[in-house]
Amino acid sequence: MLEQSLLMVKPHAFTAKKTGMIISMLENNDFQIVGIKSIKLTPELARRFYFVHEGKEFFERLINYMSTGTVAAICVEKENCVADLRKFIGATDPAKAAEGTIRKVVGVTVEQNGVHASDSVENAKKEIRFFFSDIELYSYRYLQY
């Protein structure tokens, strides 16, 4: 089934000019980009986005890190998108990520692992709506040549 998911390029990867490489990796692996924007997350926005982790020991570090710089929010689309994207980004720890995955290529540490990706279809819908309105997204299912 055709799905959409969110991939967010984290601050260190954005600052290190890895966003273009990540976009190329996505496109070269059949992910269609249907929305893209850059944004500076404030601590308040980061808290809203990562609210599911509130109370966990790493929450404050995550909020502080994610509000240090610009991120790129990318909405992608393809069949089985959420599961395929999770596999394609690789393990949270870049040292344990498989060769050719985004985190293996651009990740530095567990915290600075390059990207965030939605972990379920339900969360993908919520995360996409966090960054994008309807007029900012274009589905390839409607594309006609």
User: Catalytic residues, which ones?
Assistant: 116
Question: 63 with 47: CB under 8 angstroms?
Answer: yes
CA distances to 4, 39, 113 from 34, rounded to whole Å, are 9, 17, 23
> Is the four-CA dihedral 44, 48, 49, 50 of positive or negative sign?
positive
Give the total residue count for the chain.
145
d(Cα 70, Cα 17) in Å, to the nearest integer?
11
Phi then psi for residue 119, to 5 deg, are -105, 0
Beta-ladder partners of 40: 70
Residue that has been written with the tokens 């990318």 in this structure: 74
